[in-house]
Amino acid sequence: MLKMSGIDVCRELRRTSNAGIVMVTARADETDKIIGLEVGADDYVTKPFSLRELHARVRSLIRRLEGRGEPQDKLLKRGDLTISESQMRVWKRGVEIALTPTEFRLLTALAARPGIVYSRLQLLQAAMEDDYLNDERTVDAHISKLRKKIEDDPSKPAFIQTVYGFGYRFGGGA
């Protein structure tokens, strides 16, 4: 390397990238290895080396890096709805629907377990602040607003269904 040492290249790469770095060098002194690893190399291979060993080390690094990536977004797909829990976003047929935080929490609580009936109190506990826990009918108002946003016909809901005398369940929007 003409203008920068391998240590400098590694240090510069690490400032701007989380990419895997395997240093391959003739410098086999313990101090050189320690410096290379300290400035950001993920592995340090000294010459002479076998290509099979280098290949195995690169594969090992790739396995480690795959586990280090961003957590996968958990998407709930229910009928025409797609719910991104990590982004707190909802789409119906690919069109984003703006929901309040309470509406979003109600929807995800219901959609997480389709068919399960939740009482108003259970939904209050899952979706709202403690201030509202004494007024279970608050859920009805939020469900009504949520239905207007996600249902094709809010008077005949396919997603959020009423279970008379108890609460609500997610029907799947069939």
Condensed to tens digits (0 to 9), the pLDDT of residues 60-94 reads 888 888 766 555 667 889 999 999 988 889 999 99
Q: Are residues 61 and 88 in the same domain?
A: no
Q: Are residues 89 and 34 in the same domain?
A: no
The total domain count for the chain is 2
CATH code of 123's domain: 1.10.10.10
- Write a three-state SS string for 38-57: HCCCCEEEECCCCHHHHHHH
Average pLDDT taken over every residue of the chain: 87
pLDDT band at 2 (very low <50, low <70, confident <90, very high): low
Asked if 111 and 48 sit in the same domain, the reply is: no
Q: Read off φ and ψ for residue 57, nearest 5 degrees.
A: -65, -40
User: Is residue 96's pLDDT more than 70?
Assistant: yes
pLDDT digits (tens, 9 = 90+) for 14-66: 888 888 899 999 999 999 999 999 998 999 999 998 999 999 999 888 888 87
Q: Are residues 93 and 161 in the same domain?
A: yes
Element spanning 29, H or E = none
